[in-house]
Amino acid sequence: MVANPPRTQPSDNKILATDSQELNKFTQRHIGINADELQQMLEVLGFSSLDALIDQTVPQAIRFNQTLQLPAAQSEYAALAKLKQIADKNQVYRSFIGMGYYDCITPAVIQRNILENPGWYTAYTPYQPEIAQGRLEALLNFQTMIIDLTGLEIANASLLDEATAAAEAMSMSYGICKNKANSFFVSHECHPQTIDVLQTRAKPLGINIIIADHQTFDFAEPIFGAILQYPASDGTIYDYRNFIEKSHTQGALVTVAADPLSLTLLTPPGEFGADIAVGSTQRFGIPLGFGGPHAAYFATKEEYKRLVPGRIVGVSKDVHGKPAYRLALQTREQHIRRDKATSNICTAQVLLAVMASMYAVYHGPDGLKEIAQNIHQLTATLANGLKKLGYKITSENFFDTLRVELGNTRLEAILDAANERNINLRIFDNATVGISLDETTTESDLIELWQIFALKDQLPFTVEEVTITNYQFSRESKYLTHPVFNRYHSETELLRYLHQLETKDLSLTTSMIPLGSCTMKLNATSEMIPVTWAEFGKIHPFAPISQTRGYQILFQQLEAWLGEITGFAGISLQPNAGSQGEYSGLLVIHEYHQSRGEGYRNICLIPQSAHGTNPASAVMCGMQVVGVGCDDQGNIDVDDLKAKAEKHSHELAALMVTYPSTHGVFEEAIQDICAIVHAHGGQVYMDGANMNAQVGICRPGDIGADVCHLNLHKTFCIPHGGGGPGMGPIGVASHLVPFLPGHSVVRMGGELGAVSAAPWGSASILVISWMYIIMMGADGLTQATKIAILNANYIAKKLESYYPVLYQGKNGLVAHECILDLRSLKKSAQIEIDDVAKRLMDYGFHAPTVSWPVAGTIMVEPTESESKQELDRFCDALIAIREEVAAIESGKMDIQDNVLKNAPHTAESLIVGEWNHPYSREQAAYPAPWNKEYKFWPSVGRIDAAFGDRNFVCSCLPMEAYS
């Protein structure tokens, strides 16, 4: 029987870091259990102290027996005050720099109810679609918006940034094009950071990049693909038809990197022959944030649907025949294709894609068009005035960006005048500057811009005299005609729509999300508050360094702290997700080998248990993957590793290893494993997704790793956002520091090219991890790790007599997560892993990670943030489900028609028609006592994924479909 959960216990029991040291208040809030509960849990596990448990769990040889050198823990209030001082060192200028980044207005209703709302930002990637219909719908709106604006047939649910989206387009074109060419044409008028990222991606794959003018390119050298910027980086709008036709006669695919706002006025890429369109939706209401996070988009033709990188939301139906959304065509994804994958994208930019889609819902097609027209009108007027002042504009056809020829005027004089007015312009060269206008630009901005170029306050004309009112644009086709973009234009309606979607989704505001490997821990409100401070939000990524001193301090401190935590000499904050960290880290390794004349080293050893992004990243770096086996305990088979390392000794580039292992165990042999790889000249890449089990008690750098990425959205409290944003910085040992990622626009880093569009990735969310570390301090962080390990062991202990725990370390203990083996249920009761995952929804829980890293199992990671009450409740749910399975085993419950097979139960399914299941409605939807106090309802029944893949739809359905 399921016990009634104890109500919140009145208690001021404080957890202590050691017997004498009291942890600060924030740490006590971040950690879910109190001192009494700690004792009770230790008793269950048979340990006298937490340290005794840790001593038995983590191999002695790798223990970090010191205190991390970090600043003393601060209270929430003090930390915010301290961060405010740093923020004040940033200077918020008006930036007219453009280059793919524009100031914009985040509608307040979207800022408060999505960006600042844990109901949205604490959700996970929608792998359990029945409890994720809200964000799936918002993402379907996003895809519909992109399809409409680009004029292409299908779109994905976001990529990391425009430059990596361009690189994905290049990879996809390489895979599709049959003409055997290995050159890719890049228009010299693409944004410089896009060119930079393309070059980095092309190099290890042996792709030759041709940077040239599309107007004069003669196609003498065959190309497999091309990319054009629309409008071009300097603002010019070209007619690309001719170039595209010529490319197509060669069999090459053409990608157009397009500004989505301009597409409300311009002929969309799909209508002039583009095969792929990519771009950034940043200016759809997403703060600049000194580079991110923002959602990039990717659209193409339906025939390429199986090759599209990232996730696509598709429409299917549930068991009751109701339309329902889920992630489509998942067999394309890296986690299944592994070394056959062409992309490694895992975490994307869901929260930002949701915001951008809601910006379109908020404004509607007419509103967006009006914004675009206003911007254009102001730009045309600006140009007119500048001409009156004697300046030449390089192009006649523009949308929002002008390149101004300075003539006899000195660049310094212009820059000084701009600086006096707190205005940033784009510097092309000594003779030309760029100006990009945006949604926030007003007439008074124009006056100031003219004054800058006039080099005096007195203008020889009035605004009225130069105002342009007649202009024409080429777009004729309609867009955003679906009702969703036309019905929520009153704030009341929009607020309710946002809330409706939010409440369809199970996030951390409802219950624990015990996803193994994903570390769904507390995203404290104090950590989130600074994200929307203007001092961090309103800064252009290419603003002069002198204006971003606050950010520089933040980066230096965070890098120092992460370096101390990992034991590494250098950190790069550029990679925008764990997968990008893997890719960057392996490139660093490649550059290192090359610098020693060993660039031929291209074998990457990867254990079978590795996350799918590992082999996918290795392949993207031009490496060849060689698998290494695991033994019965789930550990790397050291003999097999030795044999493979010896066999490939000459070509060995790297080993990728996750620690603690993806099997949830601290492998004893980890140091030997690193030594074997080093002995053969290889480098050790540690996948740091499981860093939540290491912070303060062992360090990758000490263990023997040379590189490691950190998922800041796992261990360091950046919320998952429903599938992004994330950050995947890498740490490297000193010999690799010279090879860290650099950037072509901002001088930084080492010899590697850029791996992200923005120099410091999604800079604005780094404040979250900064806040977390400073509020926890060394003792708090270490205690969090220990409690995470305690909680996982507590769950394993409580559940082991119901479900076998698959892998354990030598003392029968697990690390910070545990794998429960459900494979026998299939034989005994025909129960599949999915049946249990869906039944958990009826109890009000999100399933753990299912069928990874071992099919037929679930991997549970409770984290340190859950209370004992919540851990018990979760265990009770799984125990009760085991009893439900037992009823099937004993024949008391029908083998087909039962609470598990029919899960999840929607409210509608309980009231519609006659109830003729062999169990009661109460058993169906109120299986546990807590359901009566609070019931989370899945909004659709079990979804038929295969139906959706056979009948592929990735944009909004007509309204009739819902009636």
Question: Does residue 517 touch ligand PLP according to CB under 6 A?
Answer: yes
Can you tell me whether residue 487 is helix, strand or coil? coil
Token representation of residue 367: 């509103």
- Measured between alpha carbons, how far is 707 from 728 in angstroms, rounded to an integer? 12
Nearer to ligand PLP, 173 or 347 (CB): 347
Reference 260, options 497, 541, 486, 475; nearest CA is: 475
Place of tokens 């409740």: 873
Shortest distance, position 310 Cβ to ligand PLP, whole Å: 11
Helix H, strand E, coil C: the string for 759-823 is: CCCCHHHHHHHHHHHHHHHHHHHHHHHHHHHHHHHHHHHHHCCCCCECCCCCCCCCCCCEEEECC
Shortest distance, position 15 Cβ to ligand PLP, whole Å: 27
Question: Does residue 579 touch ligand PLP according to CB under 6 A?
Answer: yes
Nearest residue to ligand PLP, scored by beta-carbon proximity: 578
Buried-state track 656-691, b at ≥16 Cβ within 10 A, e below 16? bbbbbbbbbbbbbebebbbebbbebbbbbbbbbbbb
Which residues in 663-692 contact ligand PLP (CB under 6 A)?
687, 689
Strands 683-687 and 652-658, sheet pairing: parallel
Shortest distance, position 666 Cβ to ligand PLP, whole Å: 15
Question: Does residue 854 touch ligand PLP according to CB under 6 A?
Answer: no
- Looking at residue 631, its amino acid is D
From residue 866, how far is each of 50, 164, 222, 334, 791 by CA, in Å? 17, 36, 58, 31, 8
Residues 6+ apart with CB under 8 A from 768: 523, 527, 528, 530, 531, 712, 716, 717, 718, 719
Token representation of residue 308: 């599209």
Among the listed ranges 148-156, 575-583, 584-592, 816-824, the one in contact with ligand PLP (CB under 6 A) is 575-583
# chain residues binding ligand PLP, by CB under 6 A: 15
Question: Does residue 347 touch ligand PLP according to CB under 6 A?
Answer: yes
Torsion-angle region of 479 (φ positive above 0: left; ψ -120 to 50: alpha; else: beta): beta
Shortest distance, position 696 Cβ to ligand PLP, whole Å: 20
- Looking at residue 725, its amino acid is P
- Measured between alpha carbons, how far is 82 from 96 in angstroms, rounded to an integer? 30
Token representation of residue 847: 């399933």
Question: Does residue 611 touch ligand PLP according to CB under 6 A?
Answer: yes
Nearer to ligand PLP, 280 or 517 (CB): 517
CB 507 within 8 A of CB 119: yes
Burial category of 490 from C-beta neighbours within 10 Å (exposed 0-12, middle 13-18, buried 19 and up): exposed
Question: Does residue 157 touch ligand PLP according to CB under 6 A?
Answer: no
Residues 6+ apart with CB under 8 A from 409: 391, 453, 455
Shortest distance, position 558 Cβ to ligand PLP, whole Å: 17
Among the listed ranges 37-45, 184-192, 577-585, 741-749, the one in contact with ligand PLP (CB under 6 A) is 577-585
Shortest distance, position 720 Cβ to ligand PLP, whole Å: 9
Shortest distance, position 633 Cβ to ligand PLP, whole Å: 19
Which residues in 699-728 contact ligand PLP (CB under 6 A)?
711, 726, 728
Nearer to ligand PLP, 424 or 849 (CB): 849
DSSP 439: T
Among the listed ranges 78-86, 576-584, 647-655, 734-742, the one in contact with ligand PLP (CB under 6 A) is 576-584
Residues 6+ apart with CB under 8 A from 22: 14, 16
Strands 276-280 and 296-300, sheet pairing: antiparallel
Applying CB under 6 A, among 54, 92, 167, 346 the residue interacting with ligand PLP is 346
Among the listed ranges 444-452, 573-581, 756-764, 864-872, the one in contact with ligand PLP (CB under 6 A) is 573-581
Which residues in 242-271 contact ligand PLP (CB under 6 A)?
none
Applying CB under 6 A, among 57, 187, 357, 658 the residue interacting with ligand PLP is 658
Nearer to ligand PLP, 510 or 662 (CB): 662
Question: Does residue 829 touch ligand PLP according to CB under 6 A?
Answer: no
- Measured between alpha carbons, how far is 154 from 895 in angstroms, rounded to an integer? 41
Residues 6+ apart with CB under 8 A from 442: 378
- Measured between alpha carbons, how far is 54 from 23 in angstroms, rounded to an integer? 18
Nearer to ligand PLP, 207 or 712 (CB): 712
Nearer to ligand PLP, 355 or 710 (CB): 710
Nearer to ligand PLP, 526 or 756 (CB): 756
Shortest distance, position 620 Cβ to ligand PLP, whole Å: 13
Shortest distance, position 665 Cβ to ligand PLP, whole Å: 14
Shortest distance, position 764 Cβ to ligand PLP, whole Å: 17
DSSP 741: B
Applying CB under 6 A, among 578, 615, 634, 719 the residue interacting with ligand PLP is 578
Token representation of residue 625: 């993957």
- Measured between alpha carbons, how far is 856 from 831 in angstroms, rounded to an integer? 10
Nearer to ligand PLP, 711 or 902 (CB): 711
Nearer to ligand PLP, 237 or 758 (CB): 758
Among the listed ranges 37-45, 495-503, 529-537, 571-579, the one in contact with ligand PLP (CB under 6 A) is 571-579
Peptide bond just before 862 cis, omega within 30 deg: no
Nearer to ligand PLP, 700 or 726 (CB): 726
Nearer to ligand PLP, 106 or 334 (CB): 334
Nearer to ligand PLP, 147 or 818 (CB): 818
Nearer to ligand PLP, 346 or 423 (CB): 346
Nearer to ligand PLP, 103 or 687 (CB): 687
Nearer to ligand PLP, 693 or 885 (CB): 693
Among the listed ranges 173-181, 188-196, 395-403, 572-580, the one in contact with ligand PLP (CB under 6 A) is 572-580
Interface residues toward ligand PLP, by CB under 6 A: 346-347, 517, 577-579, 611, 613, 658, 662, 687, 689, 711, 726, 728
